[in-house]
Amino acid sequence: MEKHSDWKAAKAKEACAEKLRLDQETETKQEEDKQQMTILKEQQETTEKKRLDDLVKEKKREMLGIDISREKECGDCSLNKGIFQYKYAVDGDTKSSYGNDQYKNQNKEKLEAAEKKHLRKERKKKKAKNNAAKVRTAKSNKRREVQKTIEAALANEEKRTDVDNKENYLNLQKKRSTNS
C-alpha cells in the first residue's frame, strides 16, 4: 500500500509539472500571438498611411495637369518623383523643360540605375519574408512534434499504470486467498 501511495504521489507530481510546462508554453504562444498582432496592426497602419499619401500625390499631379498613366509606379520606394522626371526627359515630352540629347541620355542611365536598385531592394525584401516564413513553420513543426511525443509518453504511462494496477490487484487477491 505504501508503494501505491508513493506511486500516486509521484504521478501527481508529474502531472503538476506537465501542467505547469503546458501553461508556460501556452503563455509563450499567447505572447507570440500578441507580438504578431501588434506587427499586423503596424503594417495595416503603414499601408493605410501609404495609401493616403498616394492619394495626395495623385491629387497634386492632377492639379498640375500631369499625365499619371505615363508614370511607372514604383512601390514604396521614394523614386516616384525621380522616375517621373526622367521619363518625361527621356521621352522628350513637351512638358519636359529639357530637350537636349545629352540630358536625355544622362536621365536614361539614372533611371535604369534607380530601377535596378529598386529591384534589388524588392528581391531582398521577398527573400527576408520567405526566410521568416520558413522559420515560423519550422518552429510550429517542432512545437507539434514535441506535443506528439508528450501525448505518446502520457499514453504509454497510462498503459503502464493500468498494468501496474492490475498486477497489484491480482497480488492482493492472491494474498487474501492464501490468508483465508
pLDDT along the chain (180 residues), means of 10: 72 84 89 91 91 85 63 48 46 47 71 89 93 92 92 85 82 80
Q: What is the pLDDT of residue 89?
A: 43
Q: What is the pLDDT of residue 103?
A: 61
pTM above 0.75, yes or no: no
Q: Are 50 and 81 in contact (CB under 8 A)?
A: no
CA 12/CA 9 separation, integer angstroms: 5
CA 2/CA 122 separation, integer angstroms: 69
Cα angle 8, 13, 15; round to 5: 95
Which residues, at least 6 apart from 73, have a Cβ–Cβ distance to it below 8 Å?
80
CA 165/CA 171 separation, integer angstroms: 10
Q: What is the pLDDT of residue 104?
A: 65
- In this structure, what C-alpha cell is assigned to residue 163? 498494468
For residue 155, count CB atoms less than 10 angstroms from its CB and return exposed for 0-12, middle for 13-18, buried for 19 or more: exposed
Q: How many residues are listed for the chain in this entry? A: 180
Q: What is the pLDDT of residue 140?
A: 92
Which residues, at least 6 apart from 58, have a Cβ–Cβ distance to it below 8 Å?
68
